[in-house]
A and B are shown apart, each in its own frame.
Chain A
C-alpha cells in the first residue's frame, strides 16, 4: 500500500523581551537556579500577573509578518494541570481567543514552492525545568524559566514529508529571527518544535490518528524523529495494530521515539478565562506603529531581488536565509560603484557578482571558520572594494581569490593588498606582447595545430602566456593579442 504522511507543527518561540510575560524577573539564560524566579514566578500565595507589553508587541509583529488576522480582543485562559515545574498548577495561555489567527508561510522544497497555512499563534508562559540528576532519588526544580514569554505558533497539517516539515521550521526560524521576536537559539530552547505526525493510505480523505513528538530542538532531530515515527506508524498498521493518540519523546541517541508516561491522565485541562487578567485590546494606532517598524520581510526581499536585481529564485532564497545575510548582501551592493543589474565592466551585473562571492567564497570561509556572517572577518565594504577591482579589470578571477584570501587572513583593503603583493592584472599590450612572442617561439607545434584548425591548441597557448605572466596578464587581452599575432 502507498502511504501518505501528514504533519503539522507547533513551535514554541521564546520572545526577546527583557522580563517575563507576567512578572518583572529577568529571562536572561544561564543564571543560577531560582535566582530569576520572583514571587509571581514561584506562585507565592496572593501574587498576581501583569502582562508585559513587549510580549504583546512581538506577537503583533509576527501576526503582521504572516498576513494573519490580529484579534483586536484576545483573552488569557488558565490551562490547569499539576506538574512540579508549573508553580501555579495552571499555565496562563490563550485558548478561545488567541492574539493571532490565520496567516501563512511559503516554503521551498527542491524546485517546488508550497504555502503552509498557520492556524494560530498565541501568547503563553513557559514552565520551569526539572533536573533529573540524582538528588537522593529526587528531582530538582529550577523555576528561572517559569514565566518566560512564548509565542506558540500552530500550523495546519499541511506538510507531507519530513523534508517539508524541516523547510517550514527553517522558514519560520528565519522569519522570527528576522523580525527580531526570537533569538532562534535552539540549544538554549528558544525555538522548540512539537510535530504532530500521522499516516494514511494515499488517496484517503480523513487523517490517521496522530502522535505528537515533543520538544525537538534541532532541524536534524526533527527530520530524524519524523522519519522514524512515520516508519514506526506504517509498520504498526501493516502489522494489524491501531495507532493510539499519544505524546512521545525522541531520543537522539537511539534515533527512536517513545510514549511519555507522565502526560497520560492529564488531558482534562479545564480551561477557563483567567480572572486575574482582563481582555487584551489591540488598538489600531498601536498596530500601525508596529507595522511601520517592521523590516522588509524575506518573501518581499526575494521578490525584489528577482525582479529588480535579476537574480535567480535560488540566489534570492539563499541570500535571504537570514536577515544578517541579506543585510550583508545589500551593504556590499551599496558600496559598489556600478549599477546593480545590467552588465558592468566585469562582465556580469554587480548583484550577481556580489551574490556569487557571498554565496561562494565568503560562505565557504565562514563555514570553515564556524563564524556567523555577523562575525565575518571581511566586511561588506571590504568585499565591495575587492569586487570593484574585478569590475574595473584590475583583478582577474584568479587574482581576486588571492586578494580575498589575504584579506580574510590578514585584513586590509583590496587596493592595499593588490599594491603590496603586486597582484595587479597586466593589461598593457607592450608588456604582454614580448611574452606572447616568447611562447609562440617556444611552441611551434601548437601554432601549427592551431593553423590546422584545432581551437584547443589556442587555449593551450593562452595558458602558456598566462603562466609566463604569473597569472597577472589580463586574459581577455591575451586572447585578443594572440589572435592578432596568429592572424
Chain B
C-alpha cells in the first residue's frame, strides 16, 4: 500500500500539524518509505494470536478515593503561555 497526498493531508489535519503544500510531497515519500518497512508485518499469519498491549500480564491497581493533591495553580501557570484570572487563555472556542 502507499499513502496518497490526500492521506498525508488528512492525517496532518487529524494530528493538528500544519503541512504546507511544498512539504506534502516530501512527507509522502518519507512516510511511504517507512510503510515499506512496516508492510513486512503483513506477511505473517497471526490468526489466533492474542494481541499484546502490555509487557506484563498484570491488572490495574486501584487507588483509594482520597484527596491528596494541593492547589498548585500558581506554580503550574508560571509556565503557561497565556493566563488571566487563573484561567488558561486560548483563541475563541466556537461550539
Contact = CB atoms under 8 A, between A and B. Distances in A.
A–B contact at 8 Å CB threshold (below) = yes
A464 B37 CA distance: 104
30 contacts: A19-B67, A19-B69, A23-B69, A25-B67, A33-B86, A34-B73, A34-B87, A37-B73, A39-B72, A39-B76, A51-B60, A52-B63, A52-B65, A55-B65, A82-B16, A84-B90, A132-B92, A135-B85, A139-B91, A139-B92, A141-B88, A141-B90, A142-B86, A143-B88, A249-B95, A262-B95, A268-B14, A278-B58, A279-B59, A281-B59
B18 interface: no
Given A249-B95, A265-B13, 8 more contacts: A19-B69, A40-B69, A132-B92, A139-B92, A141-B88, A142-B87, A143-B88, A261-B95
A138 interface: yes
A91 B53 CA distance: 19
B43 interface: no
A341 B2 CA distance: 78
Given A18-B67, A138-B92, A38 B87 contact: no
Contact of A138 (B64, B73, B90): B90
B23 interface: no
A139 B73 contact: no
A141 B80 CA distance: 12
Greatest chain B CB density within 10 A among A25, A26, A138, A280 is at A138
B6 interface: no
Given A24-B67, A130-B93, A141-B90, A33 B76 contact: no
B54 A44 contact: no
A262 B91 CA distance: 13
A444 interface: no
Interface in A180-198: none
B71 interface: yes
B89 A24 contact: no
Given A32-B86, A139-B93, A280 B59 contact: yes
B46 interface: no
Q: Is the interface of A mostly helix, strand, loop or mixed?
A: loop
Greatest chain A CB density within 10 A among B13, B72, B73, B94 is at B73
Interface string A14-40: 000111000111100000111111111
A137 B92 CA distance: 6
Nearest to A249: B95
A139 B89 contact: yes
Interface in B40-90: 53-54, 58-69, 71-73, 76-77, 82, 84-90
B95 to A, nearest CB: 5
A278 B87 contact: no
Contacts of A35: 71, 73, 86
Nearest to B55: A275
A19 B65 contact: yes
Given A262-B93, A265-B13, A52 B62 contact: yes
A141 B82 CA distance: 11
Contacts of B72: 38-39
Nearest to B88: A141
Interface of B: 13-14, 16, 53-54, 58-69, 71-73, 76-77, 82, 84-95
Interface in A129-158: 130-132, 135, 137-143
Nearest to A280: B60
B48 to A, nearest CB: 18
A277 interface: yes
Nearest to A273: B53
B22 to A, nearest CB: 23
A273 B51 CA distance: 11
Contacts of A55: 65
Contacts of A416: none
B29 to A, nearest CB: 24
Interface in A273-290: 273, 275, 277-281
A262 B65 CA distance: 35
Interface in A218-262: 249, 260-262
Contacts of A33: 85-87
Contact of B86 (A34, A83, A268): A34
A484 interface: no
A373 B88 CA distance: 41
Going nearest first, the 7 A-B pairs with the smallest beta carbon separation are A54-B65, A140-B87, A24-B68, A53-B62, A38-B69, A281-B59, A141-B88
Given A82-B16, A137-B92, A141-B88, A278 B59 contact: yes
